[in-house]
Chains A and B, each alone.
Chain A
Amino acid sequence: MNIDLTAMPTSLDAGHFGLAILALLFFILFITKKSAPKETLTSQTAKPDTEVPAPKAPAKLKDANPDAALQLLTLLQQEARLVDFLNEDLGDYADADIGAAARVVHEGGQKVLKEYFTLAPVREEEEESRITLAEGFNATEVRLTGNVVGQAPFTGTLIHRGWKATQVKLPKLAEGHDAKVIAAAEVEL
């Protein structure tokens, strides 16, 4: 393999300047990361009895219950034919046909939503209006975007009101029921 040394850049263009900065950044990160545990280690050995931030415990992840998900799919298929609809290739059909089918999906889907979930907007204000978030707002309920700097209270434009389920009431499942069957095949005799 031949390396043509003359192909090496002789002047510094913007791209390579960027790369250089990135390399530097990684280097700094590498150094700090390496030194950080060492630091805690030394402080731990020096003063073992004082309170120190404990090593971050690994977050507990819970498995979403597949039965509930399958059940919801079953309901959406039963009432709204959602699985049928999503498995169709829309390309071959006119918008009028798709519209007729969309009504089935919408009507049934709405029924499922109303029947089993009580939904409420997270924020009651009008969208596109200015709102102020006080300190200690719930970051799960409200997501900050854009120019996220400074301290609360934050003032910004409400883009989407959000949704939250205030109540979920899914049907109970019989013990012996196989939830994996989303729609039984139907045979008319």
Chain B
Amino acid sequence: MSSLSADTQGCRYSVGIDLGTTHCVLSYVDLFSDEANLVHEVLPIPQLTSPGQIEEHLQLPSFLYQAHESELADGDIALPWSAQPDVIVGVMARTLGSKTPIRLVSSAKSWLCHSGVDRHSEFLPLNSPDEVSKVSPIEATYHYLSHLRDAWDHRFPATPLIDQDVTITIPASFDPAARELTAEAAESIGFEHITLLEEPQAALYSWIKNRGDNWRQQLSVGDIVLVVDIGGGTTDLSLVAVTEEAGNLTLQRVAVGDHILLGGDNMDLALAFRINAKLTQEGKKLQPWQIQAITHACRDAKEALLMDSDINAVPIVVPSRGSKLLGSTLRTELTRAEVNQTIVEGFFPEVSIEDHPVQQQRSALTQMGLPYAQDAAVPRHLAAFLCKQQSAASALFGDNLSDFIKPTAVLFNGGVLKAPVIAERILSTINAWLEQADAPQAKLLEGLDLDLAVANGASYYGHVRQGKGVRIRGGLASAYYIGVESAMPAIPGMAPPVEALCLAPFGMEEGSESTVNNREFGLVVGEPVKFRFYGSTTRRDDQVGTLLDFWEPEELEELPEIQATLPLEGRSAGEVVPVKLAARVTEVGTLRLEAIPREGEERWQIELEVRDQ
């Protein structure tokens, strides 16, 4: 996302970090290796798998466990680089946490982009006793990155990770605050050169890398690639258009989807509930630990059934917890029909293009928790995305007369799509929509390692940024607006209508800056001033300073409030200072909003996340 800055020239490695909701992966490219035999590897990450046992795995489960002081013997948590690590992350954190959930932090990434909470405050694990020390989503992210850094430095002591060119991937749907917080966690590690890259773009980079020069035969000008990325916790959608510049094919990311908290974990849970219901009918009452064990067993059984069409049923066995194994082992089975009904029909039903997610009003009593997608049907979210982005490529390829944008190619990524049945179902649903609109069928772009593609793509991106290969152009996937009260006479009982002033236009590139010159704001010194903040993924033509007095509800999405605080420095409290507002997209790939006083050279940063006081 950012251009190559001179200071990354000396880096030996380009490192890609996939900071996933359920797993982290680190991949690297040796920038000193020659193009023909590019050294491009995934780092095996040493981690505790059970007390005292250290194994290397390509994936580091994104779980954090804060053990009680009398829970583990001193020698049992040692890592190759530290005899007494502060926290436990990885496989053992997940295993210990399955039995002691009050000490387990999971899904930190989903919390990182949940604007309903103060993400700097320490509240994870959620709802656990006061005695358990809490961490913020940023700190949890810091611990995962810090484990990766230690693993790297242990392996390559001569080239510490913080000095390398590091690319961290984020969901395309991350809002500016979530991007900023990810960058903040990375900066606290001490990384010198970091860049954020959207995961679907990383997957596409990985595909291009795997295809070599062949990719130009598979894509041509006018193609629109739909990237569908269904991971453990989230579903991420992006559209990339293939255009031409000076006779060369270029790629441009033209749209990204909403943040959908729906993934493989939901599917395993759905199967476990189904099995639980089946056993309850048989008169067996299950304990919570058994349900958890069933969820675990369902994951393996589901994979076996979805991968191999010859198997019709997979036994699910849950051994007793005690040392007596015989007579107390629970046995049932998961059948092909059940998986088809629950997963394929439940999560991937064949719907029409007009069929969009059902949004129920959440009850006011909703517990504090993650805003999981209410509609579990992925194709409905997909249909809504394609319809919403109907004109995403109009500026490039001319007006689209249909109700939805028609992808010509599909790239799948994420563990869920390893199952051929699911991949086929999504592709056939999209193709049915295309057929109805008399459009040619979309082709499938194959050849990705769906678990490692994002990290691989990210490290390859660092290599591409050195001018060795095609780059995907992106910029902001959203235009950003600040809410301004309109100057109209007050009407009793009616809030003054709000107008939206465009601060940062759609597609604004990294390293560029825009200032609103036609309007000034008065900021009170020493007092936080809050602004309403909006984003739009569809208004592509608004320029800096455009003032909207009317918009369709689906056009602008209200984001969490932003806040400016002017420090006292040389001013008296309460003084009103006229400022201009400016937006900048940093080289890292984050959005920065600033207030510039009329006089002077100072710049004050506007916080994208309003902290609880």
Chain A interface residues toward B at CB < 8 A: 71, 74, 78, 81, 84-85, 87-88, 90, 92-93, 97-98, 100-101, 103-104, 107, 171-179, 184, 186
Contacts and interface: CB of A to CB of B under 8 A. Distances in A.
Contacts of B78: 174-177
Contacts of A184: 51
B551 to A, nearest CB: 55
B329 A101 contact: yes
B331 interface: yes
A177 B75 contact: yes
A136 B331 CA distance: 52
A98 B326 CA distance: 6
Given A100-B317, A172-B54, A93 B75 contact: no
B600 interface: no
10 contacts: A71-B53, A74-B53, A84-B324, A87-B323, A171-B49, A174-B54, A175-B75, A176-B52, A177-B52, A186-B321
Given A78-B50, A104-B329, A184-B51, A176 B76 contact: yes
A178 B73 contact: yes
Contacts of B99: 186
B321 A103 contact: no
Interface string B344-355: 000000000000
Contacts of B74: 176
Contacts of A93: 326-327
A93 B51 CA distance: 34
A173 B319 CA distance: 27
A103 B315 CA distance: 8
A81 B319 contact: yes
B55 interface: yes
A100 B333 CA distance: 11
A100 B331 contact: yes
Nearest to B323: A84
B437 interface: no
A136 B323 CA distance: 50
A101 B319 contact: yes
B51 A103 contact: no
Nearest to A104: B319
B329 A100 contact: yes
B325 interface: yes
Contact of A97 (B51, B53, B73, B329): B329
A95 B538 CA distance: 64
B324 A172 contact: no
A88 B53 contact: no
Given A84-B324, A90-B326, A171 B319 contact: no
Interface in B30-68: 46, 49-55
B300 to A, nearest CB: 8
A97 B46 CA distance: 38
Q: Which of B74, B75, B77 has the most CB of A within 10 A?
A: B75
Contacts of B321: 186
Contacts of A84: 323-325
B139 to A, nearest CB: 25
Q: What interface size band does chain B fall in?
A: 20 to 34
Given A101-B325, A176-B73, 16 more contacts: A84-B325, A87-B323, A92-B326, A93-B326, A100-B329, A104-B319, A107-B317, A171-B54, A172-B54, A173-B52, A174-B76, A175-B75, A176-B76, A177-B51, A177-B73, A178-B73
Contacts of A90: 326
Nearest to B68: A189
A97 B52 contact: no
Contacts of B46: 172
Given A176-B75, A176-B78, A104 B326 contact: no
Contact of A88 (B52, B80, B325): B325
> Which 5 residue pairs are nearest across A and B when measured between Cβ atoms?
A176-B75, A177-B52, A174-B78, A171-B53, A100-B331
A100 B331 CA distance: 6
A154 to B, nearest CB: 41
Interface string B450-477: 0000000000000000000000000000
Contacts of B324: 84, 88
A92 B49 CA distance: 35
Interface string B273-296: 000000000000000000000000
Given A85-B325, A175-B75, A103 B52 contact: no
Nearest to A183: B323
Interface in B76-92: 76-78, 80
A55 B365 CA distance: 89
A54 B53 CA distance: 47
B57 to A, nearest CB: 10
A88 B53 CA distance: 27
A1 to B, nearest CB: 58
Contacts of B77: 174
| Residue from A87, A172, A178 whose CB has the most chain B CB atoms within 10 Å | A172
Contacts of A71: 53
Nearest to A111: B300
Given A81-B319, A186-B321, A173 B329 contact: no
Nearest to B52: A177
A172 B53 contact: yes
B251 to A, nearest CB: 39
A171 B326 contact: no
A85 B5 CA distance: 61
B75 A101 contact: no
A172 B54 CA distance: 5
Nearest to B77: A174
Interface string B335-350: 0000000000000000
